[in-house]
Chains A and B, each alone.
Chain A
Amino acid sequence: MDSESTPQINITIDGVELPVPKGTTILDAAERIGVVIPRYCYHPGLSRPAVCRMCLVEVEGAPKPLPSCVQEVQDGMVVRTDNAEARKARRAAIEFLLVNHPLDCPICDAAGQCELQDYAFETGQLRTRNVEAKAVLGRDHVTEDIVYFADRCVLCTRCVRFMDEIAEDAVLQVINRGHKGFIDTMTGELFEHPFSMNIVDVCPVGALVNESFLFKPRSWDLDQTASVCPGCSQGCSVMLGAKENRILRAKPRFNPDVNSYWMCDHGRSAVVNWGVGERIEVPMVREGGRLAPVDWSRALQALAEALGGKPGTARAVVSAGASNESLFALRRLMNAVGFDGGEFRVVTGPESELKGFPKLRLRADRAPNIRGAELLGFRRVDDPIANAAGHTGSLFVLEDDLNGAPEGFGGTAGLFVYIGSKMNAAARSTAHIVLPSPTFAEMEGTFTNYEGRVQRFGQALRPPGLTRPLWLSGSTVLARLGHGEQLPTAGAAFAALAAEFSDYTGMSYENLGQYGAMVASSPTAVP
């Protein structure tokens, strides 16, 4: 971070002069002018052992090339990352790695996202002059879900250092010395850690692989979407990878204030499994005692008529997994007939902290938008279903699966609207109107995390069938009844929310940025 007090040093990199704060390394300085020096063992979230020797650059006056990841800038330093000496050093490191590296690209998950491939192509060092037999070391599990392909390992030690420095549970080590080295636990047994999957992310090659992802997609088949993990209230920034309209993985996205470069294992599997299974694909309206599939025009008409017919004040059972925009849309619908309160329940689980980055933990509250729901006027209770049972006015259920609801739940309501992604017995037997709801991955939106940070997530998948977000359908209905305008986009819905709820005053999709923003009522200090 630049500050007024840090002295600036003038250096030249590849002919470009630039001032750089004292204490900056050559590698970091180079990135400021868009020069990305190849590297393996360097990772911005970990220590810098300078062992891979990929980042060697020429510094005028130095007798030998220097590792740019640790070499701090000196006044008047002249650096070349692209001249013959630097290139020879770089190609040397790649050739040495390729001496024993098996050319597994056709069967290796890392293909297309492999730093060895990338740098080999970048430098043109595509072969080695090695004609000797390659070492064969085999493969082995290190955790139940992570497989280690020892032959591919470049011994960058990022995985060892993640477990040591960030998880603060130094279970992985380099075993043996020299060319016989490989990574394993000290005893060879499997280890468990709630953040173990991060070692797969940091591995620059295909040595560490998530077995549930193994051989599924090729990396270039994946469509990547920036999103927020819905697994708990932490709200880690993530990148969803989807192929053929199915999420195949979630990787963490850097966010200095929420999750740094990391995310927990629970979140990854939660994301992949989210919304999987049979879905409500079309709106339904009860006609003649049975729920019949209808098109949106009929569904909106039915809802407009029902609301217009004074069905009684509205109570709701909602989900803290619903987006701010969906919950806001529900509030507006409920306000149209008189808001009588809404509640939600939260599944909890054991909490796990990531000691090396204490702000990040797998939170006990396994829902992404608890704070968001609360700020929109919904209350967290143990049993929202019991509180809503027997309500005679209008009853809305938004994305709660109604597990455990008593038989006949909702039967007393004058109007029961179920908005969700999966059908259940209660809705099937008593709901008057059923609207299919997209999962978080199937629409744009925002969540407000445990500390009040509002973060945007993008749409990664097409929702099934005729599914539409509630802010679109709900606002359309209300517009017909003369209550406000249609909100055609998530951004418009959020803008309307921000105009109405003072915690969000001044916020918009445009200014939320990559890392989100804090709601007005949040303490700015770290909890």
Chain B
Amino acid sequence: MAYPHEHPRETRVLSKYFGDKDAVGIDGWIERGGYKTLDKAFGMSRDEVIEVVKDSGLRGRGGAGFPAGLKWSFMPKNGDRPNYLACNADESEPGTFKDREIMRWTPHQLIEGIIICSYAINAEHAYIYIRGEFVDVVRVLNGAVVEAYERGYLGKNIRGSGFDLDLTVHLGAGAYIAGEETGLLNSLEGRRAEPRVKPPFPAQRGAFGMPTTVNNVETLAAVPGIVENGADWYRQWGTEKSPGTKLFSCCGHLRRPGNYEVPLDFNLKDLVFDICGGPPEGREMMAVIPGGSSVPILTVDELDCEVSYEGIEAAGSFLGSGGLIAMDDSTCMVHAVRKMVDFYAHESCGQCTNCREGTAWLAKILRRIEHGQGREEDIPLLLDIGSNMAGKTICPLSDSAAVPVVSSIQKFKDEYLAHIRDGSCTAVR
């Protein structure tokens, strides 16, 4: 079930055992069918495994939505350098808390996906880069890794397949930018989590300079099901371009916040108002950010769309990580955006001039507007700073920081004007 609330309209594939304490340990997991797909995978060739994942149309669930099987196919097949897999468990996109749940309720689901992926891309060593703040999750995950080694699912000659795999859980130390794939790789290497210029891409030069695939937790957790049941099974849900199911971390002004798993052709409005129960009693929904703070804000009138990648894009935003943030009319949009921009200013790695200076500048201007000292010219200034930040940096954090500013000015300009013109706020108390 999804956690902490369940809803009958969910399609629970990844989240089937959320909340089920007995599913956490390896015995419970095996009872529930865990690890049996490994034998099937080892019986296939590496390329066959990649093909089934490609055919399934599984797209990366970290936020970029890049086809997973295609990414795996970029790895050298018979190179003279070792291949690596890095699982991105840094989950720091504001509003997103799904990977956390996968890891603390069904860590073995993730491990199984990691083993199959590593086999497919011929990696003998995999890393889980997990954010250091996930103290409790790390405890569970480490326990699961120990269990997997003990039972022979990790280490040498797994299940007699001749395939060796070592898995290292590596802790982050509090940086959102370590969730950017090359920032992650730098941090893994013991350097500052500063993103790298691409090209070269991780499949050419990744961890320690070796070919590396970086995949999100949710992406890898979906792999055992696909390999076990086939591409068509996965494609029974969702759309042609966005097959499968997705976990949505729903938070903010909702009666029933939490993680919910739905197929990718589900309706966004239904997700917010039916599954999550809409806003609390007596309040009106005002805006929803569907995929984490880095994607554009949708007004309540723009929610009648499919939650697929293409559906949300057509509505004017992006699916992103699926970290859904709902804001009702008690929200001061200027305040909310300022808090988001504060986050980006705090998290900017500082390499690129535009991002380092731009995020801090935006935050200062927004704070001034919030406190009633804004000027009319601040609005075109914010928009121009945003355009000077977008598309000009090594990684998209700079773009992301500009997004809430630009989209809130486009859709909630009255809120800004109220603050600027008479220092008042349109939020309903």
Binding site for B on A (CB under 8 A): 49-54, 56, 63-65, 67, 70, 88-89, 92-93, 95-97, 99-100, 129-130, 132-133, 135, 154-155, 174, 176-181
Q: Which residues of A contact B359 (CB under 8 A)?
A: 178-179
Mind listing 18 A-B residue pairs with CB under 8 Å? Answer: A52-B353, A53-B392, A53-B393, A54-B353, A56-B392, A63-B391, A64-B391, A70-B197, A93-B353, A96-B361, A97-B353, A132-B364, A133-B364, A155-B353, A177-B177, A178-B345, A179-B345, A179-B357
Contact of A174 with B197 in the complex, beta carbons under 8 Å:
no
Q: Which are the 3 A-B pairs with shortest beta-carbon distances?
A: A64-B391, A92-B388, A96-B357
Q: Which residues of B contact A154 (CB under 8 A)?
A: 353
In the complex, B418 has a CB within 8 A of chain A:
no
Question: Could you say which of A129, A155, A179 contacts B360, with CB atoms under 8 Å apart?
Answer: A179
Question: Could you say which of A50, A63, A65, A155 contacts B197, with CB atoms under 8 Å apart?
Answer: A50
In the complex, B365 has a CB within 8 A of chain A:
yes
In the complex, B192 has a CB within 8 A of chain A:
yes
Per-position 1/0 for B364-396, Cβ under 8 A of A: 110010000000000001000000110111100
A130, closest chain B residue (CB): B361
Contact of A67 with B197 in the complex, beta carbons under 8 Å:
yes
With A88-B388, A132-B364, A178-B348 as known contacts, state yes or no: A50 contacts B394, CB within 8 Å.
yes
Q: Beyond A89-B388, A92-B392: 16 further Cβ-contacts under 8 Å?
A: A49-B197, A51-B351, A51-B353, A52-B353, A53-B353, A53-B354, A88-B388, A96-B354, A96-B388, A133-B364, A154-B353, A155-B353, A174-B350, A176-B350, A177-B348, A179-B359
Contact of B354 with A93 in the complex, beta carbons under 8 Å:
yes
| Most chain B CB within a 10 A radius of its CB, from A67, A70, A92 | A92
In the complex, B349 has a CB within 8 A of chain A:
yes
Q: CA–CA, A100 to B356, complex, Å?
A: 11
Contact of B350 with A179 in the complex, beta carbons under 8 Å:
yes
Q: Which residues of B contact A53 (CB under 8 A)?
A: 352-354, 392-393
Q: CA–CA, A100 to B353, complex, Å?
A: 11
Binding site for A on B (CB under 8 A): 175, 177, 192, 197, 345-354, 356-361, 364-365, 368, 381, 388-389, 391-394
Q: CA–CA, A56 to B353, complex, Å?
A: 12
Contact of B391 with A181 in the complex, beta carbons under 8 Å:
no
Contact of B388 with A178 in the complex, beta carbons under 8 Å:
no
Chain A: minimal CB distance from B392 (Å): 6
Q: CA–CA, A237 to B258, complex, Å?
A: 68
With A64-B391, A96-B388 as known contacts, state yes or no: A132 contacts B352, CB within 8 Å.
no
Q: CA–CA, A53 to B391, complex, Å?
A: 11
Q: CA–CA, A153 to B177, complex, Å?
A: 22
Q: CA–CA, A67 to B354, complex, Å?
A: 13
Q: CA–CA, A130 to B360, complex, Å?
A: 11
B397, closest chain A residue (CB): A178
B357, closest chain A residue (CB): A96
User: By DSSP majority rule, is chain A's interface helix, strand, loop, or mixed?
Assistant: loop
Q: Which residues of B contact A56 (CB under 8 A)?
A: 392
Q: CA–CA, A99 to B345, complex, Å?
A: 15
With A129-B381, A177-B349 as known contacts, state yes or no: A99 contacts B357, CB within 8 Å.
yes
Q: CA–CA, A180 to B350, complex, Å?
A: 8
Q: CA–CA, A53 to B350, complex, Å?
A: 12
Q: Which residues of A contact B353 (CB under 8 A)?
A: 51-54, 93, 96-97, 154-155
Q: Which residues of B contact A100 (CB under 8 A)?
A: 357, 360
Q: Which residues of A contact B393 (CB under 8 A)?
A: 53
Q: Which residues of A contact B381 (CB under 8 A)?
A: 129
Q: CA–CA, A177 to B192, complex, Å?
A: 9
Contact of B368 with A178 in the complex, beta carbons under 8 Å:
no
Q: CA–CA, A49 to B177, complex, Å?
A: 17
Q: Which residues of B contact A88 (CB under 8 A)?
A: 388
Q: CA–CA, A67 to B175, complex, Å?
A: 25
Q: Which residues of A contact B345 (CB under 8 A)?
A: 178-179
Q: CA–CA, A402 to B315, complex, Å?
A: 89
Q: CA–CA, A177 to B357, complex, Å?
A: 12
Contact of B391 with A97 in the complex, beta carbons under 8 Å:
no
Question: Could you say which of A63, A89, A129, A155 contacts B350, with CB atoms under 8 Å apart?
Answer: A155
Q: Which residues of A contact B388 (CB under 8 A)?
A: 88-89, 92, 95-96
A62, closest chain B residue (CB): B391
Chain A: minimal CB distance from B55 (Å): 29
Q: Which residues of A contact B368 (CB under 8 A)?
A: 132
Chain B: minimal CB distance from A84 (Å): 13
Contact of B350 with A96 in the complex, beta carbons under 8 Å:
no
Contact of B175 with A177 in the complex, beta carbons under 8 Å:
yes
Q: CA–CA, A467 to B359, complex, Å?
A: 62
Chain B: minimal CB distance from A115 (Å): 13
Chain B: minimal CB distance from A205 (Å): 13
Q: Which residues of A contact B175 (CB under 8 A)?
A: 177
B177, closest chain A residue (CB): A177
Q: Which residues of A contact B347 (CB under 8 A)?
A: 177-178
Q: CA–CA, A179 to B353, complex, Å?
A: 9
Q: CA–CA, A51 to B350, complex, Å?
A: 9
Chain B: minimal CB distance from A51 (Å): 4
Contact of B349 with A97 in the complex, beta carbons under 8 Å:
no
Chain A: minimal CB distance from B349 (Å): 6
Contact of A65 with B391 in the complex, beta carbons under 8 Å:
yes
Q: CA–CA, A56 to B388, complex, Å?
A: 12
Q: CA–CA, A179 to B341, complex, Å?
A: 13
Q: CA–CA, A93 to B354, complex, Å?
A: 6
Contact of B358 with A177 in the complex, beta carbons under 8 Å:
no
Chain B: minimal CB distance from A499 (Å): 55
Chain A: minimal CB distance from B398 (Å): 9
| Most chain A CB within a 10 A radius of its CB, from B346, B347, B356 | B356
Q: CA–CA, A180 to B357, complex, Å?
A: 10
Q: Which residues of A contact B349 (CB under 8 A)?
A: 177-178
With A50-B394, A65-B391, A132-B364 as known contacts, state yes or no: A181 contacts B350, CB within 8 Å.
yes
Q: Which residues of B contact A176 (CB under 8 A)?
A: 350
Q: CA–CA, A178 to B344, complex, Å?
A: 9
Contact of B392 with A64 in the complex, beta carbons under 8 Å:
yes
Contact of B391 with A96 in the complex, beta carbons under 8 Å:
no
| Most chain B CB within a 10 A radius of its CB, from A51, A95, A97 | A51
B195, closest chain A residue (CB): A51
Q: CA–CA, A359 to B112, complex, Å?
A: 54
Q: CA–CA, A223 to B388, complex, Å?
A: 40
Q: CA–CA, A91 to B261, complex, Å?
A: 46
A94, closest chain B residue (CB): B353
Chain A: minimal CB distance from B411 (Å): 24
| Most chain A CB within a 10 A radius of its CB, from B197, B346, B365 | B197
Q: CA–CA, A67 to B352, complex, Å?
A: 11
Contact of A178 with B360 in the complex, beta carbons under 8 Å:
yes
Contact of A181 with B356 in the complex, beta carbons under 8 Å:
yes
Q: Which residues of A contact B361 (CB under 8 A)?
A: 96, 99, 130, 132
Contact of B348 with A179 in the complex, beta carbons under 8 Å:
yes
Q: Which residues of B contact A93 (CB under 8 A)?
A: 353-354, 392
Q: Which residues of A contact B352 (CB under 8 A)?
A: 51-53
Q: Which residues of A contact B348 (CB under 8 A)?
A: 177-179
| Most chain A CB within a 10 A radius of its CB, from B192, B359, B392 | B392
A133, closest chain B residue (CB): B364
B367, closest chain A residue (CB): A132
Q: Which residues of A contact B357 (CB under 8 A)?
A: 96-97, 99-100, 179
Chain B: minimal CB distance from A131 (Å): 8
Q: Which residues of B contact A180 (CB under 8 A)?
A: 350
Q: CA–CA, A99 to B346, complex, Å?
A: 17
Chain A: minimal CB distance from B402 (Å): 12
Contact of A89 with B392 in the complex, beta carbons under 8 Å:
yes
Q: Which residues of A contact B389 (CB under 8 A)?
A: 92
Q: Which residues of B contact A130 (CB under 8 A)?
A: 361
Q: CA–CA, A99 to B351, complex, Å?
A: 16
A40, closest chain B residue (CB): B353
Q: Which residues of B contact A97 (CB under 8 A)?
A: 353, 357
With A97-B353, A130-B361, A179-B345 as known contacts, state yes or no: A174 contacts B394, CB within 8 Å.
no
Contact of A155 with B356 in the complex, beta carbons under 8 Å:
yes
Q: CA–CA, A98 to B353, complex, Å?
A: 10
B347, closest chain A residue (CB): A178
Contact of B351 with A96 in the complex, beta carbons under 8 Å:
no
